[in-house]
Structure 1
Amino acid sequence: MDILAHGLWVGVGTVWLHRHRRLDRRTTALAVGLAVVPDLAQLLPLVYLALFSPDGWTVLLAYANALPGYEPAMSPVVSELTHHLHCVMHSALVAGVVTIICWIWLKRFWIPLLGWWSHILIDVFTHSADFYPSPVFYPVTYWGFDGIAWNTPWFMVANYLTMLVVAVAVWRHR
């Protein structure tokens, strides 16, 4: 799923959750932030490239808008860093370890982690094997479910229409 949709879905989810469990603005902002961080983290090597390379912005924009099989050529170092950051941030095993550490430290589940968990769960089914499948069990395996590619036009339209319907329903029942 695209970065904006992750943030919007979690925003709608926090409005719904707020009805059942009071959430402050900081918790909501952190949950939305953690919903978009997995995709932003993998862009860090490309942002560095964009800042310090003459053709960096071109590569960053080409990468951000690439269709399966049309990703721009990158140096092996940038390519590997981007790939492994994607794997780490989309791994349920990594998120599980972070969740357990937070639970031990805080003596409770830290609600903003729901943003990260929602990102992983959604991406498992909205990434195809051709274009960044979500490696749910990384670093044990790179396996990822072959879902619907999030950038398929009909799926993007359906996703945002569904989000609009859900958002209207949530806000109407406030």
Structure 2
Amino acid sequence: MDTLFHGVIGAALCSRPGLAGGRRGPVDRIGRRQWVDWTLWAALFFGLVPDLASLGIHFAADLFTGNGIRWHGIPDFIFVLYNITHSLLGMAIGYGLLVGWKRALWLPALAWPLHVLTDVPTHGDGRFITPLFWPFSEAGFAGWSWWQHPAIFYGGWILAGGLWLLVLILRLTWRSQ
């Protein structure tokens, strides 16, 4: 799916203000409910990381040099970065380093694996197939390219909206005991 979708879904599923916070959601130090906390922004960021750390570099360089965003002429090293950030090994190492560095990141950093697992069925065969087993294998699941199938794109965003609506309903119907 598109990069922004991954951030929104990551925040919905891998943050305390999202569904991971349960019916009550996040609370501050004295027990008051909060609508937003740092895990929301961290999960949003980690949902974007696999694409930002690969294609984002190419697009930023294109914008910086005044070329606009180009999908052609992507350098080979960008595809190596894409393979690293979208493989099980790259995810495991990245997640392990993040959680080892700051244990509190365990929940929001799960948005990274969620991003990759969402890409598996929504990326078709070709340069952007999700290389789950890289560097051991270039093989991947030939899913349905979301950019060629509008129903997948719109369905994903309807799902994202539905998840956030569910969060809102849970928070508004929560009663303290």
TM-score when scaled to structure 1?
0.78
Letter in 1 for 2:134: Y
Residue aligning to 1:8: 8
| Structure 1 ranges of 4+ moved more than 6 A | none
Q: Which has the higher helix share?
A: 1
After TM superposition, list the pairs within 5 Å mapping 1:82-97 onto structure 2. Answer: 82-97=78-93
After TM superposition, list the pairs within 5 Å mapping 1:16-27 onto structure 2. Answer: 16-19=19-22, 22=26, 25-27=37-39
Residue aligning to 1:67: none
Q: Select the residue among 148, 151, 166 that pairs with 2:163.
A: 166
Letter in 1 for 2:123: H
Task: Identify if the C-alpha distance between structure 1 residues 111 and 165 changes in structure 2 by more than 3 Å, giving closer, same or farther.
Answer: closer
In the alignment, the residues of structure 1 paired with residue 101 and residue 64 of structure 2 have an alpha-carbon distance, to the nearest angstrom, of 37
Give 1:135 deviation, angstroms: 0.5
Cα pair 2:10 2:46 within 8 Å, conserved: no
Cα pair 1:45 1:81 within 8 Å, conserved: no
Q: Select the residue among 63, 77, 84 that pairs with 1:81.
A: 77
2:111 paired with 1:115: yes
In the alignment, the residues of structure 2 paired with residue 30 and residue 51 of structure 1 have an alpha-carbon distance, to the nearest angstrom, of 26
Q: Percent identity?
A: 24
Matched residue count: 157
Cα pair 1:10 1:31 within 8 Å, conserved: yes
TM-score when scaled to structure 2?
0.77
Cα pair 1:131 1:149 within 8 Å, conserved: no
For residue 129 of structure 2, give the secondary structure of its aligned residue in structure 1: coil
Give 1:16 deviation, angstroms: 0.8
Structure 1: runs of 5+ lacking an equivalent: 64-71
Root-mean-square deviation over aligned CA pairs: 2.3
Letter in 1 for 2:154: V
Residue aligning to 1:36: 48
Task: Identify if the C-alpha distance between structure 1 residues 124 and 26 changes in structure 2 by more than 3 Å, giving closer, same or farther.
Answer: same
For residue 173 of structure 1, give the secondary structure of its aligned residue in structure 2: helix
Give 1:82 deviation, angstroms: 1.8
